[in-house]
Amino acid sequence: MAPIPSRPTVLVTGASRGIGLAVVQILLHDFHAKVITISRSISPELQALKDQYKGDVVLVQGDVAGRTKPEVSEEALKQVPSPTALILNAGMADLAPVVQTDRAHWLRTFDLNVFSLINTLVPAIPALRANGGRVVFVSSGAATGNTAGWASYNASKAALNSLCRTFANEEPLIASFAVRPGMVDTPMQAAIRTDAAKGLMRPEEHQRFVDAHREGKLVRPEESGYVLAALAVNGSKELSGQFLNWNGPECAPYMRK
């Protein structure tokens, strides 16, 4: 990898818990970055990082999925106007088989998993161009999967990957990566293992998640989170537009040693 910039400035969405919180911790501790976060709530853990790292953390509370205009993202960029990278992590999985969904269900999922990306990405493009910046789209294996009950989530992550590919083609000065973070031990995973989720999925598919948790096979947030942070700070443009597995050969240089 090329030398790490002396002072990266990274905007992270969905930072209050799980992968997003782990990424913020890693950016501050390992990469000495300045971090601005956007999240619907400010968790005690996120506030503690702000208190610990003083002027290196800016917390913006709000919903990145606002439908009318990207007000929250624009406010964040006013406070830190020249980011070197974005990590677009905000997302949700609203499980239901297609037959039980309606337009409102799909809009909820796409508002957060797709449209919020646009709200944050577009206002930042001029600064990212000027900085030769990077955008990390947090994707999922669902982008290429067909797990029953996950139709809106699967489709939204496929759309995210398509956006990443197209954006990389349109913006050669900005490196863009869609990253599958693995089956991560997060609150979203815990929700998938519940009996309520079991009733919306095929039994064998639900059992796969239960077994992975029981057998200790879930990825820790700080494991794939380190790769996300490293790509945001120093990802190679040779990988731009690709859908990357967090522990695949292309990401090996970005894993914690």
**Given the residues 116, 140, 152, 153, the one annotated as active site:** 153
**Given the residues 16, 116, 139, 176, the one annotated as active site:** 139
The pLDDT tens digits for 163-192 are 999 999 999 999 999 999 998 887 777 888
Give the contacts of 97 (CB within 8 A, at least 6 positions apart).
148, 149, 151, 200
Query: Looking at residue 3, what is its pLDDT?
Result: 44
Q: Which of 139, 74, 67, 164 is nearest to 108 (CA)?
A: 67
Query: Looking at residue 69, what is its pLDDT?
Result: 53
Helix (H, G, I), strand (E, B) or coil at 36: strand
- Can you spell out the DSSP letters for 194-212? SHHHHTTS-HHHHHHHHHH
Cβ atoms of 163 and 88 closer than 8 Å: no
Stretch 245-255: mean pLDDT, rounded? 98
Q: What is the C-alpha separation between 79 and 11, in angstroms, rounded?
A: 11
More confident residue, 68 or 43: 43
φ and ψ at residue 5, rounded to 5 degrees: -55, 145
Confidence grade of residue 92 (pLDDT, cut at 50, 70, 90): confident
Domains along the sequence of the chain with CATH: 9-186+220-254 (3.40.50.720)
**Given the residues 16, 140, 156, 157, the one annotated as active site:** 157
Query: Looking at residue 2, what is its pLDDT?
Result: 43
The pLDDT tens digits for 132-151 are 999 999 999 999 999 999 99
Q: Which of 204, 217, 208 is nearest to 247 (CA)?
A: 217
Query: Looking at residue 26, what is its pLDDT?
Result: 98
Query: Looking at residue 84, what is its pLDDT?
Result: 97
Q: What is the C-alpha separation between 161 and 150, in angstroms, rounded?
A: 17
Query: Looking at residue 62, what is its pLDDT?
Result: 87
Min mean pLDDT across 41-45, 142-146, 210-214, 240-244 is at: 210-214
Residue-averaged pLDDT of the chain: 91
Question: Which two tokens mark 30?
Answer: 């390992």
Q: What is the C-alpha separation between 141 and 41, in angstroms, rounded?
A: 27
157 is catalytic: yes
Helix (H, G, I), strand (E, B) or coil at 70: coil
Confidence grade of residue 70 (pLDDT, cut at 50, 70, 90): low
Strand arrangement of the beta sheet that strand 175-180 belongs to = 57-61, 34-39, 9-13, 85-88, 134-138, 175-180, 243-245
Give the global pTM.
Answer: 0.92
Confidence grade of residue 1 (pLDDT, cut at 50, 70, 90): very low
Confidence grade of residue 93 (pLDDT, cut at 50, 70, 90): confident
